[in-house]
Structures are given as C-alpha cells and as structure tokens.
Amino acid sequence: MAKNAPQRHTIAKITDRRGKVILEVTQKEYLVMESNGAIASYSEYNNIILEDGVGWNPAMLSQRPPIHIAVCAVCRKRRKPKTHGLVSVAGARLCVCGRLCCPKHRRQSSRDNKWRCPSCHRRHVLKRLLTPVFFRKREKTL
C-alpha cells in the first residue's frame, strides 16, 4: 500500500492595482512512497488560457525564459462578457496613452503604424478625417 509523503499546495493570487483578486491559480506537488520502496513525484497544475491564446500556470515564471503576464486595461473595464483580461507580455502592446491592450482590443493605425486602444484609435481616425475639413495646407512663399 502506498504512503503519502509531504505535500505542497501553492495558490497564486493575481490582483489588480487596487488589490482586488482577479484570479487564483492553484498547484499541488506531492511525493508518494510505493510499497516496494520507490518514491514517485506528482505535480498537478491548473492552467488558464490567456486572452492571446497562451496556456499559462505559475510554474512558467521559473522557466527559461519566463512567461510574464499582464492585465489588458480594456478587458477589465468592460463588463460584458466578464473576463479575467490576462495576457502574456509578449502578446500585449502598449497604447500611445499608456494602456496595455490584448490582441482583441488593440488597433494599429495605418499611417503611423502605432498601436492604440479602441478609444485612442477612434480619436485618431476622427482627427484624421476632420483635419482636412477645417484646415488646409499653405505653402510658404519667399
């Protein structure tokens, strides 16, 4: 009959800036001593799927290179559908206003190739459309 040896349970709590818990991910590691004296090591990890499609668990922070995660500002702001808004740092882009956006919520402008959140992108497009209506180019004469 197998005997259970020491166990280790780890709970990783991911919080936002205000300290509100976004998500809890658990992992269990334990050793089992078999009847023939052999020791087997078991690990149980709960993975989550990030907004950019990457599967992640807290053990990935200790691998080489580590997979760091961040929170999409737009995902956390919107109420429908409720989502954790976590995205890998490699899959996220920073808006010109400083917000971090996941692939679902970022837009790339055609003229300057900068990444923008939806609200900054709307302002940029509106400015680009209205500028020729209210302003015109003048050539300098010498």
Percent residues over pLDDT 90 in the chain: 1
- Counted residue by residue, the chain has a size of 142
Q: Assess if residue 141 is contained within a domain.
A: no
Taking alpha carbons only, the member of 95, 96, 113 closest to residue 105 is 95
Mean pLDDT of 112-120: 89
Confidence of residue 3 (pLDDT cuts 50, 70, 90): low
Q: Is residue 139 part of a domain?
A: no
For residue 54, give the nearest of 28, 88, 29, 83 by alpha carbon. Answer: 88
pLDDT tens-digit map of 11-60: 888 887 788 888 888 888 888 888 888 888 888 888 888 888 888 888 78
Range of the domain at 52: 3-134
Q: Is residue 140 part of a domain?
A: no
Domain count of the fold of the chain: 1
In a domain, 142, yes or no: no
Q: If we measure between CA atoms, which residue out of 99, 98, 120 comes closest to residue 108?
A: 120
